[in-house]
Amino acid sequence: MNPRHLRWATHAENMADSRGKRPRRVTNKWPSLKGSDHGRARLTEEQVADIRAATSMGSRQKDLAAQYGVHRTTIHYAVVGKNWAHVA
Protein backbone atom coordinates (compact mmCIF):
# COMPACT_ATOMS: atom_id res chain seq x y z
CA MET A 1 0.00 0.00 0.00
CA ASN A 2 1.30 3.43 -0.90
CA PRO A 3 0.60 5.82 2.02
CA ARG A 4 1.35 8.95 -0.06
CA HIS A 5 -2.11 8.90 -1.62
CA LEU A 6 -3.89 8.82 1.76
CA ARG A 7 -5.36 11.90 3.42
CA TRP A 8 -7.67 12.66 6.34
CA ALA A 9 -11.31 12.94 5.32
CA THR A 10 -14.80 12.28 6.60
CA HIS A 11 -16.74 9.21 5.54
CA ALA A 12 -18.91 11.36 3.23
CA GLU A 13 -15.82 12.84 1.58
CA ASN A 14 -14.34 9.37 1.10
CA MET A 15 -17.56 8.08 -0.47
CA ALA A 16 -17.77 11.08 -2.82
CA ASP A 17 -14.12 10.54 -3.79
CA SER A 18 -14.65 6.84 -4.48
CA ARG A 19 -17.68 7.41 -6.75
CA GLY A 20 -15.52 8.95 -9.43
CA LYS A 21 -12.74 6.36 -9.32
CA ARG A 22 -14.39 3.05 -10.17
CA PRO A 23 -17.87 1.56 -10.52
CA ARG A 24 -19.34 -0.24 -7.54
CA ARG A 25 -19.93 -3.96 -7.86
CA VAL A 26 -23.29 -5.51 -7.17
CA THR A 27 -22.78 -8.22 -4.56
CA ASN A 28 -26.27 -9.72 -4.63
CA LYS A 29 -26.19 -12.65 -7.05
CA TRP A 30 -29.98 -13.00 -7.27
CA PRO A 31 -31.32 -9.45 -6.91
CA SER A 32 -34.72 -9.88 -8.54
CA LEU A 33 -35.55 -13.54 -7.96
CA LYS A 34 -38.26 -14.37 -5.44
CA GLY A 35 -39.50 -17.52 -3.81
CA SER A 36 -38.57 -20.85 -5.29
CA ASP A 37 -36.93 -19.09 -8.27
CA HIS A 38 -34.22 -17.88 -5.90
CA GLY A 39 -31.15 -20.10 -6.05
CA ARG A 40 -30.95 -20.58 -2.29
CA ALA A 41 -34.63 -21.22 -1.58
CA ARG A 42 -35.32 -24.27 0.56
CA LEU A 43 -39.12 -24.09 0.35
CA THR A 44 -41.71 -23.65 -2.38
CA GLU A 45 -44.62 -21.23 -2.44
CA GLU A 46 -47.02 -24.12 -1.83
CA GLN A 47 -45.05 -25.26 1.22
CA VAL A 48 -45.02 -21.72 2.64
CA ALA A 49 -48.80 -21.49 2.24
CA ASP A 50 -49.16 -24.86 3.98
CA ILE A 51 -46.81 -23.76 6.78
CA ARG A 52 -48.79 -20.57 7.36
CA ALA A 53 -52.04 -22.53 7.46
CA ALA A 54 -50.55 -25.07 9.87
CA THR A 55 -49.31 -22.39 12.27
CA SER A 56 -52.69 -20.68 12.24
CA MET A 57 -54.19 -24.03 13.29
CA GLY A 58 -51.73 -24.31 16.20
CA SER A 59 -48.77 -26.25 14.84
CA ARG A 60 -45.45 -25.38 16.41
CA GLN A 61 -42.76 -23.81 14.24
CA LYS A 62 -40.19 -26.18 15.73
CA ASP A 63 -42.20 -29.20 14.55
CA LEU A 64 -42.74 -27.70 11.09
CA ALA A 65 -39.01 -27.02 10.77
CA ALA A 66 -38.27 -30.69 11.44
CA GLN A 67 -40.99 -31.77 9.01
CA TYR A 68 -39.65 -29.59 6.16
CA GLY A 69 -35.97 -30.08 6.96
CA VAL A 70 -35.17 -26.41 7.56
CA HIS A 71 -34.15 -24.30 10.54
CA ARG A 72 -36.87 -22.93 12.82
CA THR A 73 -35.86 -19.40 11.83
CA THR A 74 -36.68 -20.21 8.20
CA ILE A 75 -40.18 -21.20 9.26
CA HIS A 76 -40.54 -18.12 11.46
CA TYR A 77 -39.51 -15.74 8.65
CA ALA A 78 -41.96 -17.42 6.27
CA VAL A 79 -44.80 -17.16 8.80
CA VAL A 80 -44.28 -13.51 9.74
CA GLY A 81 -43.66 -12.46 6.14
CA LYS A 82 -40.04 -11.39 6.43
CA ASN A 83 -39.36 -13.84 3.62
CA TRP A 84 -41.95 -15.05 1.13
CA ALA A 85 -43.98 -11.85 1.41
CA HIS A 86 -45.33 -12.41 -2.10
CA VAL A 87 -47.15 -15.59 -0.99
CA ALA A 88 -50.73 -14.98 0.10
Q: Would you kindly state where each structural domain of the chain is located, as residue ranges?
A: 36-88
**Length of the chain, please?**
88
Task: State residue 53's pLDDT score.
Answer: 97
Per DSSP, the chain holds a count of helices (H) and strands (E) of 4, 0
Give pTM, 2 decimals: 0.64
* pLDDT bracket for residue 6 (50, 70, 90): confident
State residue 76's pLDDT score.
Answer: 97
- pLDDT digit string (tens) for 19-77? 777 766 666 665 678 888 888 899 999 999 999 999 999 999 999 999 999 999 999 99
